[in-house]
A and B are shown apart, each in its own frame.
Chain A
């Protein structure tokens, strides 16, 4: 009964969503003329590459134009991880081993995971280092690294992660983000001023775009550490057998 009520409510929501999106024809260019700066999208498309020298416009908006929002998002993720950890983390008693939820995997899974893990980590690092050139960025790269750690955690029953290391990486990355923002204020600009350290460099170079690559590396490390910590905490709870 409850399920059919849920489906009914979803149908109502879906009906109104369809009504709203029917007003936009499929595939039509809603940004408008790039030369005409009266719309927001056209402004970003026209001004991002000359002013920030970042090839990926999405990254420039997320980290530079809306950088303060990104700091807030990172804080939200940090608070969620802290809340989960404070509820679920069980302090080990003396001599007690942490018990993993899952059983030991087969040999095929273990060897395959060990083989794949460096490449997954490398892909994640590539995604967040090249965040200002190619699609992707800190959040995506961090999540990819966390899936690599997840593979290792699932495959090996006694794969231990140092919580101290995770905490240090996370804190250092967070302080880097906030510190770069404050440095812009100290040097007389705005919070998260883009060219606070040096020039902007050439478009499509690896080192270009001012502080944007540094911030995205920090965000990537932070997200990877947080999500890995969440998975480690969740996997170490003993199932409550009644």
Chain B
């Protein structure tokens, strides 16, 4: 029981940290990868909470498909958040 609480607390802290990183980061590609990490940690947490169905869904859709769709969108638009930073890409 104590083991689960410890693992869970570490995962929850990592989750919050990647969420904050996604908000603060100006490079949108890094922010999107960070949201993918959030989905990965969430899927492990669902598995620990004995919900393997939800863990599978989160792993397939949250980690793979959503991240890739956002990466394609970034590729078609701009990579950096601010206009003045936009010149770095091209």
Tell whether, in the assembled complex, residue B5 and residue A143 are in contact, meaning their CB atoms are under 8 Å apart: no
Secondary structure dominating the interface of B: helix
Taken together as a complex, chains A and B put the C-alpha atoms of A143 and B76 apart, in Å, by 23
A-B residue pair count with CB separations less than 8 angstroms: 61
Taken together as a complex, chains A and B put the C-alpha atoms of A10 and B19 apart, in Å, by 10
Tell whether, in the assembled complex, residue A235 and residue B57 are in contact, meaning their CB atoms are under 8 Å apart: no
Which B residues between 52 and 80 are near A, CB-CB below 8 angstroms? 52-53, 55-57, 60-61, 64-65, 68-69, 72-73, 75-76
Tell whether, in the assembled complex, residue B20 and residue A7 are in contact, meaning their CB atoms are under 8 Å apart: yes
Q: For B23, give its contact among A7, A144, A240 (CB under 8 Å).
A: A7
Interface on B for A, CB 8 Å cutoff?
1, 4-5, 8, 19-20, 23-24, 52-53, 55-57, 60-61, 64-65, 68-69, 72-73, 75-76
Secondary structure dominating the interface of A: helix
Tell whether, in the assembled complex, residue B57 and residue A140 are in contact, meaning their CB atoms are under 8 Å apart: yes
Tell whether, in the assembled complex, residue B60 and residue A147 are in contact, meaning their CB atoms are under 8 Å apart: yes
* With known contacts A7-B20, A143-B61, A150-B65, A135–B53 Cβ distance under 8 A: yes
Tell whether, in the assembled complex, residue A231 and residue B69 are in contact, meaning their CB atoms are under 8 Å apart: yes
Taken together as a complex, chains A and B put the C-alpha atoms of A7 and B23 apart, in Å, by 8
Interface CB pairs A-B, < 8 A, 14: A10-B19, A26-B4, A26-B5, A27-B4, A140-B57, A140-B60, A146-B65, A147-B60, A147-B64, A150-B64, A234-B69, A234-B72, A234-B73, A235-B72
Residue picked from A58, A135, A227, most chain B C-beta under 10 Å: A135
Which A residues between 113 and 141 are near B, CB-CB below 8 angstroms? 127, 135-137, 139-140
Interface on A for B, CB 8 Å cutoff?
3, 6-7, 10, 26-27, 56, 58-59, 101-102, 127, 135-137, 139-140, 143-144, 146-147, 150, 154, 227, 230-231, 234-235, 237, 239-240
Taken together as a complex, chains A and B put the C-alpha atoms of A26 and B7 apart, in Å, by 13
The interface residues of chain A lying within 8 Å CB-to-CB of B57 are 139-140, 143
The interface residues of chain B lying within 8 Å CB-to-CB of A230 are 69
* With known contacts A3-B23, A147-B60, A237-B76, A136–B69 Cβ distance under 8 A: no
The interface residues of chain B lying within 8 Å CB-to-CB of A27 are 1, 4
Q: For B56, give its contact among A26, A140, A150, A240 (CB under 8 Å).
A: A140
Tell whether, in the assembled complex, residue B20 and residue A239 are in contact, meaning their CB atoms are under 8 Å apart: no
Tell whether, in the assembled complex, residue B76 and residue A101 are in contact, meaning their CB atoms are under 8 Å apart: yes
Residue picked from A27, A136, A143, most chain B C-beta under 10 Å: A143
